[in-house]
Amino acid sequence: MKEKPLSSLCTPALVVDVDKVKRNALRMIERCGSRRCIVVSTLAEACFYADHGFDDILYAYSLPLDKVERCADLSERLDLFQILLDHPHALDELKKRPLRDGRLWHVWLKLDCGNGRAGVLHSQPEAISLAQAIVGTKGVELTGVYVHCGNSYNCRGVEQIQAVAQETTDLTLQFMEKLKASGITCKSSIGSTPSCSHPVKDMGKLSEVHPGNYGFYDVQQSVIGSCTLEEVAVKVLTRVIGHCPHRNQLLIDCGWCGLSLDGAGKLPTGYAVIEGHPDLKLLSMTQEHGRVEPISGPLDYSKFPLGSLLTLIPYHSCATAVMHPVYHVHSEGRLLGKWIPTRGW
């Protein structure tokens, strides 16, 4: 069967350039090496990968107490199901649910080295005492120390990214030394899309890294400096569905059901970059409509007849991909098939 072109898709449609994904993945392997395991952020994803042959899965999310039993199931089923923990109460829950057949809970201590989200703060004595408590708990193994340097998202350019990567690595290695001084050895890791896209040499001293959204990338990562705009592998196809000459605007069939709102106020071109049209701005979106206008001057409507295709490069591909029940995969514009993402929790 002859593969259909992208233009055969009804819009809005999320399209994935599989060649770019492969190139991005190869480049990450060259930079950081590879392992057969996978890191997920929801249990739904963990179950999906477990059902499809992965037996080494890290659920990189501080153990939610409503999901202990589901985590226990995966721990008893897989070679190596690993969880995160940053609070002694969560450890108490593990004690209450010993695993069958003498299996161990594989626990990473989640450490906050300046990101300001989850994790026990690296500088607080509670961090060491929690590590000690994990080590001292029967049926639980301290697998490693996990740090997410999401603060690298505030960076602009390689130099700033590498400064955050270096600082996070230093703090993590210092923490590992403190652990060692109290007789504890385990793995260490940091991760984020920017820091793993431009790793510093000292990251080689860590056990592993978790490189984030390197497969798809997006406009945000290009602004940070993790990638070029050409490396972004996921886009949203949209069509012109209205002309509004009285407002110097056109309407497209992509609103916030097809593109995340989280580019708001971040780009001169609005909520996305419109490929090939740096002079256009995606000004606003409602549920199923986007308003597009020129950054300056009058719109030439003859260039954008009703039904014509535009390609949006998303500001944040994670947030946009989650809006789509189907990913349309293509190679050089020829459709190869569909990916159905795993959603929910």
Q: Which is nearer to its own copies, 33 or 242 (CB)?
A: 242
Q: Which is nearer to its own copies, 63 or 274 (CB)?
A: 63
CB 230 to its own copies: min, Å: 25
47 contributes a contact to its own copies by CB under 8 A = no
Residues in contact with its own copies, counted by CB under 8 A, come to a total of 57
> Angle 125-135/88-96 helices, nearest 10 degrees?
10
Whole-angstrom CA distances from 270 to 43, 154, 240, 253, 304 are 34, 19, 17, 16, 19
Gap between the Cα atoms of 213 and 230, Å rounded: 15
Q: Which of 289, 294, 329, 331 binds its own copies (CB under 8 A)?
A: 289
**End-to-end CA gap in the chain:** 37
The maximal CA–CA distance of the chain, rounded, in angstroms, is 73
30 contributes a contact to its own copies by CB under 8 A = no
334 contributes a contact to its own copies by CB under 8 A = no
CB 241 to its own copies: min, Å: 5
Contacts of 305 (CB under 8 A, 6+ apart): 240
Q: Which of 18, 25, 80, 121 binds its own copies (CB under 8 A)?
A: 121
Q: 10 Å Cβ neighbour count for 48?
A: 16
Gap between the Cα atoms of 29 and 266, Å rounded: 31
CB 283 to its own copies: min, Å: 11
335, amino acid identity = L
Piece of the chain touching its own copies by CB under 8 A; list 49-57, 95-103, 129-137, 280-288: 280-288
Nearest to 274 by CA among 217, 229, 241: 229
90 contributes a contact to its own copies by CB under 8 A = yes
Gap between the Cα atoms of 317 and 235, Å rounded: 8
Token pair of 244 as six digits: 């509004």
> Angle 125-135/158-181 helices, nearest 10 degrees?
60
Q: Which of 86, 218, 231, 293 binds its own copies (CB under 8 A)?
A: 86
Q: Which is nearer to its own copies, 121 or 200 (CB)?
A: 121
305 contributes a contact to its own copies by CB under 8 A = yes
268 contributes a contact to its own copies by CB under 8 A = no
343 contributes a contact to its own copies by CB under 8 A = yes
Contact 44, 343 (CB under 8 A): yes
Q: Which of 325, 333, 336, 337 binds its own copies (CB under 8 A)?
A: 325
* Preceding omega of 245 cis (within 30 degrees of 0): no
Q: Which residues bind its own copies (CB under 8 A)?
A: 9-12, 41-43, 61-62, 64-67, 70, 86-87, 89-90, 116-118, 121, 124, 150, 239, 241-243, 246-247, 251, 253, 256-258, 260-262, 264, 286-289, 291, 305-307, 318-319, 322-326, 343-345
